[in-house]
Amino acid sequence: DFGKMPDGTEVQAVTLRNDRGVMVRVITYGARVQEVVTPDRNGHGADIALGFASLQGYLGRSDPYFGATVGRFANRIARGRFTLDGHTYQLPINDGPNSLHGGTMGFDRRVWTLLTVKQGPSFASVRLRYVSPDGDQGYPGALTATATYTLDDHDRLHIDYRATTTAPTIVNLSNHTYWNLSGEGSGSVTHERLMIPAAEFTPVDATLIPTGAFSPVAGTPFDFRQPKAIGRDIRDGRSQQLLFGRGYDINWVISRHAVAVPRLVARVVDPRSGRVLELASNQPGLHFYSGNFLDGSLVGPAGHTYRQGGGFALEPQVFPDTPNQPAFGSAILRP
Ligand code: BGC
């Protein structure tokens, strides 16, 4: 029991554990990762995912998508408009002039249905479903989405998203967990070392909408091909792109198209705790956001405030604004 929505709907929490001391808690509100406990190099556990102690925190308007499943369309759509099969659709505008993370009432703010909880010999899993009606937030087609979280004995957390639709629509589902490998609320992540195996990124305008270009990372603060501390180049005032996002808030091109089998898209090493996070995905893009808009006004489960750079998000997805960018491929899902 994780509390009740204002209308009385119950929110549930499911705890997945393995016998190596890893624990992941998922809540049905937003199909969110609420807590991830892993041991450090000395075996001491800490929660490395930012979040709130109770449902109340998540319900606040200033929740920055902690742990959330974002949809129908993760990231931005310019002016909240796109055209599909000759029809133009208008989505809610909730980020400057643009639509962000599915609109004002995205998948992150919905109570998902708990479908199954499984405990196998070497894994534990939970599957959730949300049915988004035709026209929900302006998107066409009724979309049935499932999110499955599986924790295995190799300390891997698998996140599997599936969706079907009754009419042509666009979809881009991602997970928005903010990580701090030294522990949530422990301070800044700028000392953590990040590697992103991408030679290009998609530059943006002042409202963080891609210009449509592909830019080489070489010689820019966006070059993470060799591991480097997140904070090493984050204050480089010569980079207009860093100024637009107040830090890293941009999409890397892992490949031009999605691939069949997930491959490594990021690796983060925390020298302090010894924890390592490896992220694999089959998606073409990886959005890296360095928690730039955290401003000390939110308090995590251990009672510490989250300030700028107090966590980072790595969001595998199609490139931002794909529906309006001919060079970016397609985000279309047909019945
Ligand atoms: C966006 C940021 C935004 C954050 C929280 C990220 O995915 O790119 O610009 O501030 O989500 O809303």
Query: How sure is the predictor about 273, in pLDDT bands with cuts at 50, 70 and 90?
Result: very high
Nearest CA residue ID for atom 7, ligand 1: 75
Q: Work out the average pLDDT over 258-270.
A: 98
Catalytic-role residue among 101, 176, 192, 287: 176
13-50 burial: b if 16+ Cβ within 10 Å, else e: bbebebeeebbbbbbbbbbbbbbbbbbbeeeeebbbbb
Q: Compute the distance from residue 293 Cα to the ligand 1 centre, in Å.
A: 8
pTM as predicted: 0.97
pLDDT of residue 61: 84
Active site residue 315: yes
Q: Compute the distance from residue 107 Cα to the ligand 1 centre, in Å.
A: 15
**Calpha distance 39→29 (Å, rounded):** 26
Q: Work out the average pLDDT over 212-232.
A: 98
**Calpha distance 187→184 (Å, rounded):** 8
Catalytic-role residue among 35, 184, 192, 315: 315
Q: Compute the distance from residue 111 Cα to the ligand 1 centre, in Å.
A: 21
Nearest CA residue ID for atom 4, ligand 1: 64
Note the pLDDT tens digit of each residue in 289-304: 999 999 999 999 999 9
Q: Smallest Cα–Cα separation from 119: which of 158, 156, 151?
A: 151
Q: Which of 61, 65, 246, 312 to mutate to test the pocket of ligand 1 (most atoms within 8 A of CB)?
A: 65
Q: Are 50 and 184 in contact (CB under 8 A)?
A: yes
Ligand 1 site residues (CB inside 6 A) read: 64-65, 208, 249, 287, 289, 293, 313, 315
pLDDT of residue 83: 98
Q: Work out the average pLDDT over 220-226.
A: 98
Q: Smallest Cα–Cα separation from 196: which of 172, 238, 219, 228?
A: 228
Q: Work out the average pLDDT over 48-71.
A: 97
Note the pLDDT tens digit of each residue in 169-204: 999 999 999 999 999 999 999 999 999 999 999 999
Active site residue 35: no
**Helix, coil or strand: residue 331:** coil
% the chain with pLDDT above 70: 100
**Does the pLDDT at position 74 exceed 90?**
yes
pLDDT of residue 64: 98
**Calpha distance 175→68 (Å, rounded):** 6
Note the pLDDT tens digit of each residue in 312-332: 999 999 999 999 999 999 999
Q: Are 310 and 288 in contact (CB under 8 A)?
A: no
pLDDT of residue 218: 98
- CA 116 to chain centroid, in Å, comes to 23
Note the pLDDT tens digit of each residue in 96-117: 999 999 999 999 999 999 999 9
Q: What is the mean pLDDT of the chain?
A: 98
